[in-house]
Amino acid sequence: MKQRTIGRETDYSGIGLHTGKRVRITFKPAPGDRGVRFIRVDLGGRPQLPAEISKVIKASRETSIGEGEVKVQSVEHLLAALTGLGIDNLEIEIDGDEVPIGDGSALPFTQVLKQAGIVEQEGEKRYLELKEPISFVKEGVHLRQDFGGLSSGASAKGDVYLVALPDEKLKISYTIDFDHPVLKTQFASFIIDEDTFTREIASARTFGFENEVRELKEKGLIKGGSLENAVVIGEEGILNKEPLRFPDEFVRHKILDLLGDLYLIGAPLKAHIIALKSGHGANVELAKKIHSRKEKVPKKEMEEIQKRIKTEKILNIREIQKILPHRYPFLLVDRVMELEEDRKAVGIKNVSIDEEFFQGHFPGYPVMPGVLIVEAMAQVGGLLLLSKPEHSGKIAYFTGIDKVRFRRPVVPGDTLRLEAEVIKIRGRMGKMATRAYVEDRLVAEAELMFALAPWERE
């Protein structure tokens, strides 16, 4: 399948469950292989946060991501919608630190994004397929079964189980078991695709118990919580005027939360996930385990890439990503146009105004930083070295730079032609000459020294 984004810009606004503040989100299409990024437009410099498992700073009553002083709370319902709709690339501008709670489900986000149109992009989806089972077990603890910003301590002591099994598709089988007169045991199992998610899961709302909601309110928490955005369960039944949307709405919402947390792995997943009494904390731990076991590029794929190099002497962006460890915003080569083993490589970098560095580097007069031009030249040099079969599984560390000269500024709209030519290679050490051109004009040059070392990628 092809990667996906949305067809046009759209927005959504609402209050945050925890802060009670009104927040506006603007969704914008993003290029292929970009991934999903939150952009805090209310902060100076518009700092960005990629939706990645390494950015998780909290996973208890909700899942939040952050870096330094920048954070975005309660991302799970929105990310669940992206999972269900198969959206891979998206910019999410947000003017606060918490995603709106909406009606407590993923339905508002699903509807807004579908109205904007889901469009296919040029690049292929890169699914993460498991080779062996992966599990997370937490034994004999007092469970606080987390749900959508509220948290229940209503279940007895027990074990949390999460198991991911190899499968040809994404399937979730989930069991909840609460020690409560109204809510006890529920089980549901779904193969996740766009139709099933939209029809069976997206509208399942977060839920909480009356006594705990009252306690959280008294502590000044969940300031935006109400019967409009959560199902509240009393001793005799639910307190909401609206009836349950499904007889098993509670376990369906838990599936929704799990899908949102798993999105942070950074690749669409093919696996059968079996969950018992899990919550955001356990979901994130399983996601980390899956992420840490991402396979190296299979030997067969590398052989195909090397065969293409020998016959066509070019590399596209997907092949570049299989060789280099860099990713947006630090992957600075879009295409390799020439590649002669042990001799020379020529790459292309298209410089656009939406490059991350232009936000802070002379924003009134955008000029590409010279150090990034050097980095782009170095990455072409790295591709030249690492495309050799015997260097598969290694990484090129640059150990020195000589004779650096910057001749002309590089601005948005320019296309950089990046050349790297080997001067000498001795064992695992070497030197190469690099140059960068815009049209036929030399804009930068440098001699780079490098060392090859083993690379254990995730």
Q: How far apart are CA 300 and CA 308, in angstroms?
A: 13
Residue 401, strand partner residues: 448
Q: How far apart are CA 190 and CA 368, in angstroms?
A: 48
Q: How far apart are CA 101 and CA 47, in angstroms?
A: 22
Chain-centre distance for alpha carbon 308: 30
142 is catalytic: no
Q: Nearest-CA neighbor of 246 among 105, 80, 123, 371? A: 105
**Backbone angles phi and psi of 153, in degrees to 5:** -105, 25
Q: Is 351 left (phi over 0), alpha (psi -120 to 50) or beta?
A: beta
Polymer length in residues for the chain: 458
Q: How many CB atoms neighbour CB 187 within 10 A? A: 12
> ∠ CA(348), CA(455), CA(421), 5° rounding?
35
272 is catalytic: no
Q: How many CB atoms neighbour CB 48 within 10 A? A: 17
Tokens of 428: 């695992």
280, 291, 326, 391: which is the annotated catalytic residue? 280
Strands (DSSP E) along 51-130, which ranges?
56-59, 63-67, 70-72, 90-94, 118-124, 128-129
Q: How far apart are CA 429 and CA 266, in angstroms?
A: 34
Residues annotated as catalytic are 280, 361
